[in-house]
Amino acid sequence: MSEFVVRRALFSGLGFLAICLAMGQVQRAAAQTVMAGHDMGVRDEMPPDELPVPQKLSGIGNVSIKITAAPEAQMWFNQGLNLLHDFWEYESARAFEQGVRVDPQCAMCYWGLYKAEGSFHSTAKDYANQALTKAVGLEGHVSNAEKLYISASAAHEDALKGAMQGRPDFSKEVKLWRKLVKQQPKDTQARIFLAQAVGEQKEYLAILKSVLDDEPENSAANHYWIHALEASPHPEEALRSAEILASLAPTSGHIVHMPGHIFYRVGDYARAEKAFTASLEADERYMQEQHIQPDDDWNYVHNLMYAIANKLEEGKLKDATALSMKLTGARGQLVTTLYTNLTRDSISRLNPLLPVALRTANWQKVLELLSTNGATAQQANLAFLSRTLTDFAGGMLAVEGHDLLKAEESSLRVDADLWQASQQLKDNGPRSNEASSAGVAVPKLTVMPDALLQPLVNNLSVMSLELRGSVAILKKHIDDGKKIFAQAAQEEKALGYREPPNYIRPVGETEGAALMAAEDWIDAKEAYKRALLERPRSGFPLYGIALCNERSDDTTAATSAYTEFLQAWKDADSDLGQLIHARTYVAGHSHVASGRAVARPMTASNETAKTTLESLFHSSIRPNYYGNHAAISAGLVQHCLAQFHPAFFVCQAFGIPLSEKFYTRIAPADGIDNRNLHVHMPRFIRDPATLAQSTRARASL
């Protein structure tokens, strides 16, 4: 058995029963799993000479290389070159191919076609080497500098072919680029291609910096500078590039989108939103005007995914939900838009609303969305993802409901599924989901490929640890839980940088919620602070920090933290429970000034009113502890009391303090959805007995 199963069984203390449950889950998973690698549909790659004639584009960048070609071919080459740097591979290939059509002797047009078709998002990679072969064959017609461009690329391909299963040796390629840069020191394009070839981050940054020093508004260099620094500890060093890049290529969807990467990383979600919105508009206009299919504009769905993630950190859940509904139509049928290597995208393939539900820890909603998912019988890995996510969400919901047995059973099933998937990877190794073109006259592409299994296992392993840590803390094994969460945080970090973050909800927030439930306010706040390092100025961890301060009776810190939270989410959905609670708390503690609370006198009549109101509150609502949603409910209750109980409103207006008991976590009566408490509150406080008490409370003031 796997460490997933054995370690979890021993930890739970369920002994033989736990192992039996786990083994039963392994058998269930094995019975339901169709082995990955099941043959899926395929379609032909499109040869470059069948690409439609491109339109002349403007606003796509400002770089160029002087080549040996007819003037019109030079124009198409420069268009293709800018689009290549824009990562707009489909349009780049069209432009380079058009250069070949108008000048069949244009060696550099073939070189450009090789670069475009060989790029990451290309849907015709098998035609790249054919284009390079033609470029090499035309070297006799070009300048020495052009020969070096072509020879360096040929050396790159030779290194790949010679490597077999080992690490390619690109030293010959790098040597040729260095020779070109030495011969043509003012050729900033040669320097950019050298930077991409060196493979060493420090030199890569130094070369790009030299280009930006010489050409501060070089569109390609600014684009690469953002990519180079966004994952670094100091993304703010790319802020200047982020601020000017869109103006350098205003019609390029991906270039307009790129500043959002930096703004997101530094927590400036409002400016990131503007970038992502502008990109969305640019891509939709392009696709509509030129009748482009989703697979030929990969940036469209990439930008949507980032825009949704950004909206969530802003607290704009309604906008995020609306954008999510565009995802299905934004994806095509190929790897380029399905992003089979990214778990966040795979989750959204099951249901486009899942990332929203997972980010907000709405476990009941996660379960509802997973009850009907998009996995087909041939997509075994997506089915595995759906099954394991269901158990994870069910377990987290059980933790919130203090159902320890159910939570532990869910955790065991998660670990068992992970063990089965790990065994599959061990036995078969990671498999490509692309069709093999070996020995095939016309290269093929896989249609609707399954998700890759290894990224799913890596991501779900973090969730497994989160659930296990939450269960440990629920059992009052606090130290054990903290250790498990520390391991989860390490594995989350090991997932690497992705755009947007591959792990939807930071581990720190899940740990913070678990420790809050255990009333460990200090360590819960530290966990939320760790989450804030990953998502600067995000309202989710900011709210958690404020709530910890409130629960620990630190009124000054709580008021300050809630104020910071309200500023971060000033444009968020106004009806969010977190906002209602924060506004109510800050309004009720407006007397907190200069870092200390100002005492207010308490008269006998005021004390009577306060006691009456608290009695009202606790007689109408069943006190209970209910995980993350409890704090939201408390805010909603206070909001409703402020509307329906004039006495409570007067207490707030006069700064009459209410005891901590009033602010404790609550849950509504049986059968009422905690998240809809504000809908049901009126019937509690409008019954005759409640109204009579309310009248007496007002009279006492």
Rounded to an integer, the average pLDDT of 607-611 is 47
Per-residue pLDDT of 33-75, as tens digits, reads: 333 333 468 989 999 999 999 999 999 999 999 999 999 999 9
Residue 510: count other Cβ atoms within 10 Å of its Cβ. Answer: 26
- Whether residue 674 is predicted with pLDDT greater than 70 in this model: the reply is no
Contact 340, 452 (CB under 8 A): yes
Measured at the alpha carbon of residue 459, what is the angle toward residues 454 and 461, in degrees to the nearest 5? 95
Per-residue pLDDT of 85-108, as tens digits, reads: 999 999 999 999 999 999 999 999
Rounded to an integer, the average pLDDT of 400-421 is 97
Q: What was the pLDDT predicted at 13?
A: 42
Per-residue pLDDT of 245-263, as tens digits, reads: 999 999 999 999 999 999 9
DSSP state of 590: T
d(CA 539, CA 531): 11
Rounded to an integer, the average pLDDT of 408-418 is 97
Q: Is 42 helix (H, G, I), strand (E, B) or coil?
A: strand
d(CA 520, CA 515): 5
- Whether residue 242 is predicted with pLDDT greater than 50 in this model: the reply is yes
DSSP state of 226: H
d(CA 5, CA 20): 10
Mean of the per-residue pLDDT values of the chain: 83
Contact 354, 347 (CB under 8 A): yes
d(CA 386, CA 392): 10
- Whether residue 617 is predicted with pLDDT greater than 50 in this model: the reply is no
Q: Where are the alpha helices (DSSP H) in 315-452?
A: 317-324, 327-330, 335-338, 343-350, 354-359, 363-370, 380-400, 404-428
Q: Is 621 helix (H, G, I), strand (E, B) or coil?
A: coil
Helix axes 453-474, 404-428, angle to 10 degrees: 150
Q: What was the pLDDT predicted at 659?
A: 39
Phi, psi of 66, deg, nearest 5: -75, 120
d(CA 154, CA 175): 13
Residue 44 bridge partners (DSSP)? 444
pLDDT band at 594; cut points 50, 70, 90: very low
Q: What is the dihedral of CA 600, 604, 609, 615, to 10 degrees?
A: 110
Q: What was the pLDDT predicted at 306?
A: 98
Per-residue pLDDT of 425-445, as tens digits, reads: 998 877 665 555 555 567 899
Across the chain, which distance is largest between two alpha carbons, in Å?
101
DSSP state of 404: H
- Whether residue 10 is predicted with pLDDT greater than 50 in this model: the reply is no
Token duo for residue 350: 């099951």
Contact 474, 515 (CB under 8 A): no
pTM given for the model: 0.81
Per-residue pLDDT of 502-535, as tens digits, reads: 999 999 999 999 999 999 999 999 999 999 999 9
Region of residue 167 (phi > 0: left; psi between -120 and 50: alpha; otherwise: beta)? beta
Q: In the chain, pLDDT over 70 holds for what percent of residues?
A: 76
Contact 220, 227 (CB under 8 A): no
d(CA 662, CA 617): 8
- Whether residue 626 is predicted with pLDDT greater than 80 in this model: the reply is no
Residue 2 bridge partners (DSSP)? none
Token duo for residue 410: 């869910």
Q: In the chain, pLDDT over 90 holds for what percent of residues?
A: 71
Token duo for residue 600: 């207010």
Task: Read off the amino acid at residue 548.
Answer: C
Rounded to an integer, the average pLDDT of 289-306 is 97
Token duo for residue 340: 């089979």
- Give the DSSP H or E segment for 556: helix 555-568
Rounded to an integer, the average pLDDT of 686-698 is 40
- Which of 252, 262, 198 lies closest to 220, judged by CA? 252
Rounded to an integer, the average pLDDT of 273-285 is 98
Per-residue pLDDT of 627-664, as tens digits, reads: 333 333 444 444 444 443 443 443 443 344 433 333 33
- Whether residue 219 is predicted with pLDDT greater than 60 in this model: the reply is yes
Rounded to an integer, the average pLDDT of 102-119 is 97
pLDDT band at 573; cut points 50, 70, 90: very high
Q: What was the pLDDT predicted at 458?
A: 98
Q: What was the pLDDT predicted at 431?
A: 63
